Amino acid sequence: MLVDKHGREHSYLRISLTEKCNLRCTYCMPEEGVILKKNNSYMTVDEVIHIAEFFVARGVNKIRLTGGEPLVFKGFEDVLKAIGKMDVDLSLTTNGLLLNKFWESILKAGVNSINISLDTLNEEKFKRITRRGGLDVVLNSIDQALKYGLKVKVNVVVIKGVNDDEILDFVKMAYSKPISIRFIEFMPFDGNKWQWEKVVSAKEILGKIATEYDVKDIVALDRDRNYISRDYSYWGMKGSFGVISTMTDSFCGGCNRIRLTADGHIKNCLFTGDETDLLTPFRRGEDILPLVEYSLMNKHLKNGGIDFQDLSTMHDHRSMISIGG
């Protein structure tokens, strides 16, 4: 097992296949876009597969494919097929716009869980947030995933004055569909114009829900030690809702996640400014295990060493689209 200095075993690998995306979400991508590197700076299909095999051989039993938008990666189906043959729980995070092109490959690979990013149920607001369109396509993708028997989580980044008025609308969606709605506190990344004043806390989100649903009938669901979302359900509800409270009530104690960026770097935390290049030594045929172990041994206990209450501890690092969702 891959273990950090805090004794946390790391069995969950998130692989960003690409920094490209067919949306331009305001909280993820800077308004001016991102500068893409030369193509040979990114992992090839074979490199993604071999590095994934390396991690599986060392105890990783869950792999999530992310982006950017992973479905725009030209070798997506090849990666999906290869990792689907590994002894792992394979899942996917997507904006849902291209799923109709890949359902057959996704099902054949044994994907059993899909996270779909969706921050509004209003078409005009969807266009403002994503700087594109396609809400109807995303909603159809959610229904199709349910039809195919997949576990569906809908990730909602809540931003004050933008979509916090839709919290109850999303909860109602979980009432009628067997999906998990996950409200995510707005997090700071390069170029997303983050401010504390825009953060809607977990306490505020749950307070809003309590105005419509009797708290005595809201049930906290069981969670494992590696949880990131505190989940709840309500009497008669087909699905569930939860909050990922990164900013106000961190859940780092049981972290088991490793992030592999599209250019082959390890980020041991979403918020760390430190990265370890695996791709360059891997291409030279060198053993990358010492580098992985070094990265994990330098992992902070919480939030990449950042104190969100003290903005002087913030450091420059990639935009969310370049890290991997």
Q: Which two tokens stand for residue 313?
A: 């501890």
Phi-psi region of 121 (alpha: psi -120 to 50; beta: other; left: phi over 0): alpha
Phi/psi of residue 244, nearest 5 degrees: -100, 105
Annotate 26-50 with DSSP letters as a single string. Answer: TTTS-TT------GGGSPPHHHHHH
Q: What is the pLDDT of residue 273?
A: 77
Say if CB 12 and CB 260 are below 8 A apart: no
Which 8-state DSSP code applies to residue 222? P
What is the amino acid identity at position 115?
Answer: N
What is the amino acid identity at position 142?
Answer: I
260-295 in b/e burial notation, b at 16+ Cβ within 10 A?
Answer: bbbbbbbbbbbbbebbbebbeebeeeeebeebbeeb
Q: What is the pLDDT of residue 58?
A: 97
Element spanning 62, H or E: strand 62-66
Q: What is the pLDDT of residue 131?
A: 85
* Averaged pLDDT, groups of 10, the chain, 325 residues long: 94 95 77 76 97 98 95 97 98 97 98 96 94 94 98 97 97 97 86 81 95 90 87 94 89 90 91 90 98 94 73 58 64
259: exposed, middle or buried (C-beta count within 10 Å: 0-12, 13-18, 19+)?
Answer: buried
Write the CA distances from 148 to 92, 103, 141, 144, integer angstroms.
15, 9, 11, 6
CATH fold label, 2-323: TIM Barrel (3.20.20)
Write the CA distances from 193 to 27, 124, 125, 187, 280, integer angstroms.
8, 21, 18, 10, 33
**d(C-alpha 163, C-alpha 186), whole Å:** 11
Say if CB 89 and CB 43 are below 8 A apart: no
Element spanning 291, H or E: helix 289-297
**d(C-alpha 306, C-alpha 158), whole Å:** 21
**d(C-alpha 53, C-alpha 118), whole Å:** 31
Residue 157 bridge partners (DSSP): 184
Q: What is the pLDDT of residue 287?
A: 98
Q: Which two tokens stand for residue 235?
A: 């009497």
Element spanning 182, H or E: strand 180-185
The full set of domain ranges for the chain reads 2-323
Q: What is the pLDDT of residue 118?
A: 97
Question: How many CB atoms sit inside 10 A of residue 217's CB?
Answer: 11
Write the CA distances from 118 to 27, 108, 249, 324, integer angstroms.
12, 25, 23, 16
Helix, strand or coil, per DSSP, at residue 156: strand
